[in-house]
């Protein structure tokens, strides 16, 4: 017989667990329910005949192709950029790192329209000369920062050299009336209202997300591996290529799919900078907008479903790869 007394331990009473569990399940169910309703609403709006019509439309088919190509191009570009940037931010401590970090997040924070508008203005209103002045100024500031800190290593000299080169180009081209768009068009790379501009419009935001992902990836890889590799004779570059990159594989895939998904959903900058010309610069995101605009709701719903499916499968791929020990 158990006596309840001062010298015997009380059996602790625990409150029942099920209210909490129910609460959790309720929240999850409610949230999933909303998502289900959103998808379901689309499914119900789509008459399969109209969906078929929309998908048979050669303009839409071109839009799908263009979406794939631009998203892939943007994703690859983002990966190629974000790996070095993420590595630098992760491994090197330098003054102003916090500032650079914040600057790199700007495309994520800004409304996408501003990205598009800035691109439009940059290419059509600002002369290449002015652009070079801006770059020269930035390089000079970076150089000044480095020198101010007492370093006279290769990095500040690199920036000073850059400042001189840009300044020279700017001076050489000053007075020229052409816009940047005219210059790039001359060399066969038209941007504004052209397909290449779609990639340029998708890139800033996609890359920003990729950089974040890669930074975290590299943060999670112990610097110890590089240390050991260096004692074995590697310089930093060799340690990076032979030891760190292989480990970052999953992270890179995650960054790439993240960038791909962001590019898929990007709409504002593309509309402003590349336009939404049927059969030319129209991607799925703008297709939906255009279908809505002409009152073709079922068509828009069909495209929405297509995009939802694409987004979901992308996420599944990411989860799958990340779950195998990678980092997201």
Partner 1 sequence: MKRPALVIAILVVLLGGALRWLRKGDRVNEPGKEDLLVHCAAGLRRPMSEIARQYEEEFGVKVNLQFGGSGALASQLEVAGGDLYLPADQSYIDFAREKGLMKEAIPAARLTAGLVVSKGNPKGLQELSDLGQEALKISLAEKSASVGKFTWKVLEMEGLIDKVTPNVVVTKPTVNAIVEDVATGAVDVSLAWDAVAGNFAEVEWIAVPEFSRRAKRASIGVLTSCKDATRALHFARFVTARDRGRKTFLDLGFVVPDEGDAWSQVPDVTLFSGSMLRPAIQGRIREFEAREGCRVNTVFEGCGTLVAQMEAGANPAGYFACDTKFLMMVQDRFFAGQVMTGNEIVLLVRKGNPLELRGLADLSREGLKLGICDGEKSALGELTRIMLERRGLTGILEGRVSVKVAKGDDLVSAMQARSLDAALIYRSNALASPVTLEEHEILELNDELAFAEQPFAVGKETPYPELMKRLGEFLTDGQARGRFEELGFQWRLER
Partner 2 sequence: MKKAMLVLEEVTVQAGQFVLPPFSLEIAEGECVALMGPSGCGKTTLLETACGLRRGPAGGRIILGGDEVTNLPPGARGIGLVPQDVALFPSLKVREQLEFGPRLHGWNSVEIMQRVEGLARDLGLENLLERSPGKLSGGEARRVALGRALALRPRLLCLDEALTGLDEARHEEVLGVIRKMIEVEGVTALHVTHSKKEAEAIADRVVMME
The number of residues that bind partner 2 (CB under 8 A) is 17
Instruction: Name which position in 24, 99, 228, 241 contacts partner 2 (CB under 8 A).
Output: 228
Map residue 64 onto helix, strand or coil. Answer: helix
Rounded-to-10 torsion of CA 296, 297, 302, 305: 140
Quickly count: other Cβ atoms within 10 Å of residue 245's Cβ.
Answer: 16
Q: Least CB distance from residue 76 to partner 1, whole Å?
A: 4
Tokens of 220: 């999670």
Length of the chain: 328
- Which of 76-84, 108-116, 132-140, 234-242 is the region at the interface with partner 2 (rule: CB under 8 A)? 234-242
CA distance 249 to 316: 17
| CB of residue 162 to partner 2, shortest distance in Å | 26
Closer Cβ to partner 1, 196 or 308, answer by number = 196
Residue 229 touches which of partner 1, partner 2, none (CB < 5 to 8 A by kind)?
partner 2
Residue 241 contact among partner 1, partner 2, none, beta carbon within 5 to 8 Å by kind: partner 1
DSSP string, 7-63: TSPPPPP---SHHHHHHHHHHHHHHHHHHHHHHHHHHHH--HHHHHHHHH-HHHHHH
Contact pick of 45, 59, 90, 238 for partner 2 (by CB under 8 A): 238
Q: Is residue 112 a contact point for partner 1 (CB under 8 A)?
A: no
Q: How far apart are the first and last CA of the chain?
A: 56
When binding is defined by CB under 8 A, the residue of 227, 279, 297, 312 that contacts partner 2 is 227
In angstroms, the CA 16 to CA 256 distance is 45
Binding site for partner 1 (CB under 8 A): 66, 69-70, 72-73, 76-77, 79-80, 120-121, 124-125, 185, 188-190, 192-196, 198-199, 241-242, 245-246, 248-249, 252, 272, 275-278, 280, 290, 292-295, 297
């Amino acid at each position: 017989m158990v006596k309840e007394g001062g010298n015997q331990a009380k059996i602790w009473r625990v409150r029942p667990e099920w209210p909490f569990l129910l609460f959790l399940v309720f929240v999850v169910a409610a949230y999933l329910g909303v998502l289900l309703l959103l998808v379901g609403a689309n499914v119900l709006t789509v008459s399969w005949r109209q969906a078929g019509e929309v998908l048979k439309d050669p303009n839409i088919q071109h839009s799908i192709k263009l979406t794939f190509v631009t998203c892939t191009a943007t994703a690859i570009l983002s990966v190629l950029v974000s790996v070095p940037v993420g590595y630098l931010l992760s491994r090197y401590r330098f003054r102003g790192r916090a500032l650079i970090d914040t600057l790199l997040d700007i495309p994520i924070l800004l409304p996408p329209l501003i990205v598009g508008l800035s691109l439009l203005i940059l290419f059509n209103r600002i002369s290449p000369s002015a652009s070079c002045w801006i770059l020269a100024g930035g390089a000079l500031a970076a150089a000044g920062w480095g020198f101010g800190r007492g370093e006279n290593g290769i990095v500040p000299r690199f920036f000073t050299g850059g400042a001189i080169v840009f300044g020279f180009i700017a001076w050489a081209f000053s007075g020229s009336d052409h816009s940047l768009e005219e210059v790039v068009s001359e060399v066969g790379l038209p941007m504004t209202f052209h397909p290449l501009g779609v990639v340029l419009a998708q890139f800033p935001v996609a890359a920003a997300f990729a950089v974040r992902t890669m930074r975290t990836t590299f943060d999670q890889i112990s610097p110890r591996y590089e240390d050991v590799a260096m004692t074995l004779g590697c310089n930093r570059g060799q340690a990076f290529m032979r030891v760190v990159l292989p480990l970052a594989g999953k992270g890179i895939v995650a960054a790439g799919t993240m960038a791909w998904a962001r590019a898929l959903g990007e709409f504002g900058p593309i509309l402003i900078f590349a336009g939404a010309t049927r059969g030319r610069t129209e991607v799925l995101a703008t297709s939906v907008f255009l279908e809505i605009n002409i009152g073709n709701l079922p068509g828009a719903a069909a495209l929405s479903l297509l995009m939802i499916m694409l987004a979901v499968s992308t996420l599944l791929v990411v989860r799958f790869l990340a779950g195998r020990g990678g980092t997201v």
